[in-house]
Amino acid sequence: MKKDLGVQPALYPMPVLMIATYNEDETVDVMNMAWGGVCARDMVALNISRGHRTTKNIEARGAFTLSVADVAHLDESDYFGIASGNKVADKFERTGMTAVRSERVDAPVVQEYPITLECSVVEMQDQPYGLRVLGRIENVLADDAVLDESGRVDPARLNAFAFDQFQSGYYAMGEKVGQAWESGKRLA
């Protein structure tokens, strides 16, 4: 029997994504967000509010990077969701993480995260339910340690974690349980 839970964002897994931008003084700002993801082959969509420092930076610079958080940096990633860039000017420095300037967009690349999408802003859409930022993926950077022998990202090596909207937990990802477009063929 199923229980009625009402209206809530009840999807799992939710990605834990790190949006990195530059502040107007060239310092690095990173925000932890879960309400976003790929919306086309070369596009991402971020659902964020206007009040975030990150939003102001995206609007001013027309660019951002989007990294996948990994278990090795769970504490720092969670902190980026706890501390507001509007209140804690040195929140990135407090983590001890490092960043370099993207070669493709006007945004920082956080060195410790294993995979980063370099994105340019295509559109900022004010909607009745919030702000949606559409970004074009200009390039993807991946650490050698997360690539398989063919040069593709290996999810097990990526060691990403997901956000659980039900109990506000983080869960490690990576165990392969099937093969897309193969596992279901027995039913065809």
Q: What is the pTM of this model?
A: 0.94
pLDDT, position 30: 98
Q: What's the average pLDDT block by block, 10 residues per block, for the chain (188 residues)? A: 89 92 97 92 95 96 97 97 94 97 98 98 93 97 97 94 92 89 92
pLDDT, position 100: 98
Q: Is 115 a member of any domain?
A: yes
Token pair for residue 89?
């000017």
**Other residues' Cβ atoms within 10 Å of the Cβ of residue 133:** 22
Beta strands in 51-180 (DSSP E): 63-68, 99-101, 108-110, 115-127, 130-142, 161-164, 169-172
Q: Is 32 a member of any domain?
A: yes
Q: Which domain holds residue 176?
A: 14-187
Q: In what order do the strands lie in the sheet with 169-172?
A: 14-15, 161-164, 169-172
What is the residue type of 182? E
pLDDT, position 56: 97
Q: Is 19 a member of any domain?
A: yes
Q: How many domains does the chain have?
A: 1
CATH of the domain at 108: 2.30.110.10
Gap between the Cα atoms of 176 and 34, Å rounded? 22
Q: Is 4 a member of any domain?
A: no
